[in-house]
Structure 1
Amino acid sequence: MLERVIEVVGTLGYLGIAALMFLETVVPPIPSEAIMPLAGVAAAQGKLNLLGVVVSGTIGALLGNLLWYYLGRRIGPKRLGRWADRYGRWFGLSARSVDTAQLWFARYGAAAVFLCRMVPGIRTWISLPAGAAGMSLVPFLLCSALGTLLWTALLAWTGLLLENNYRLAEQQLGPLSAVAFGGLLFLIVLWKFRRKNSAP
């Protein structure tokens, strides 16, 4: 099962990875914690280049971050909470997530944009208060790009480790190992979906 998923990621190529990361940022259907490690596995197997995987994942996520940034600028700080209450459920967003992101931004400013790119749960939503507060575009892009680059590189590197462990287990346990790893991956993704859906 895992091998098939990796093959799909490898077939989609860099454009596909960028598109998936863009979608994950805009309407999180698949967590980046699933996309980038599998892309890293594909790179370890020679189907993709690791640098290309990291760059394409970063670009895709950055484009999604820009969308939320400009939406935040349009909405403004006063209407941000009301907008999240009214429309947030369509994007897996809650007013609580926006409040948390606003607190981070109010406390740490531009540093929050960098740091939050590596914090699950508010990684995407920090763009809204940054835009609503009128943060300049260049610092926003710089902080977002650096934080996202580190995050995607870490996840892709995790994929490299997963590939090595996967091959070792496959040699020792045969076909049963593929089923076990596939089941584990499925449970991780399922847990992530349930966690997002149960968020208030």
Structure 2
Amino acid sequence: MTGPLSVILGSGLLGVFCVASVEKIFPAPPSHIVLLFLGMTAAPGLDRLELLLAITVAGSTLGSLFWYAMGCRLGEERAEALVGRFGRYVFLPLATYRKLAEAYRRKAFAASLVAQLIPTVRNYLGIGAGALRLPILPFASATLLGAMIWNSAFLLIGYLMRGGDHNPVSIGFRIIVIVVLVEATFFLALRFRSVRRRRAELAEG
């Protein structure tokens, strides 16, 4: 993990921008791992952290616009068929895609913003937005805002975890611990929300 990221850092800010863009298309490694690593190792001060935030947000937004363009080209029916056939391989079930599309129809900006904060979904949300022909300006604005929230959180966590020890094993271990805690918290929150919704539906019934 640290080998490729070290090469990226050696490429300078252009390398960071490229990774932030490509990660939205092929999320390997996931963005939160890259952002944590950058916050830990590439930000000696807050000024550098702000620069990393601006560059990664720009790259992330560009990656989302790539999928938006693909969605526009495919159209609604072909995009859904593509997700149905290949979505499971990138952790995007067809049911999740359909829920996202339905949310887009109701509140395009809010759906784009919230989806940007959900692991995996944030990578491919542009397909649905483009397929449904959402206006590009609200989509891009929501994506930019969502990427700013997501990226700043992980960059800041990495920055606060930085220290004199840059041993790859130590850094990798800290990243794994943070990622596990964040993802566990996220999925527990989703589970709690789902249980509350079911109880409310049963109460109404």
TM-score bracket, shorter-length normalisation: 0.7 to 0.9
User: Where does residue 142 of structure 1 map in the other structure?
Assistant: 141
Paired with 2:175 and 2:149, the residues of 1 have a C-alpha distance of 22
- The alpha-carbon deviation at position 43 of structure 1 amounts to 3.6
Aligned partner of 2:81 in structure 1 is 82
Conserved? CA contact 1:113–1:143, under 8 Å: yes
CA distance in 2, matches of 1:180, 1:189: 14
Alignment of 1:1-200 (within 5 A): 7-45=6-44, 49-88=48-87, 93-163=92-162, 166-167=163-164, 170=165, 179-185=169-175
Structure 1 residues without counterparts, runs of 5 or longer: 193-200
Q: Decide whether the 8 Å contact of 2:84 with 2:94 is kept in 1.
A: yes
Aligned AA for 1:35? V
What is the TM-score normalised by the length of structure 1? Answer: 0.75
> Quick one: distance in 2 between partners of 1:143 and 1:159?
24
Matched residues, number: 181
**Cα offsets for 1:136-162 (capped at 9, x unmatched):** 111111111111122111111111111
| In 2, Cα distance between equivalents of 1:20 and 1:185 | 18
- Spell out, residue by residue over 1:55-113, the C-alpha distance to the aligned partner (whole angstroms, 9 max, x if none): 11111111110111111112222232211123446655442442242233234321111
Q: Normalized against structure 2, the TM-score is what?
A: 0.73
Separation in 2, partners of 1:27, 1:160? 25
Instruction: Report Cα offsets for 1:36-63 as digits up to 9, x if no partner.
Output: 12112234336x8212211111111111
Distance 1:68 1:180, change over 3 A: same
Structure 2 counterpart of 1:12, which letter?
S
1:88–1:183: structure 2 CA closer, same or farther, 3 Å change rule?
same
For the aligned residue pairs, the C-alpha RMSD in angstroms reads 3.1
Question: What residue identity is the alignment partner of 2:22?
Answer: L
Go from structure 1 to structure 2 and tell me whether the alpha carbon gap of 1:179 and 1:128 turns closer, same or farther (over 3 Å shift): closer
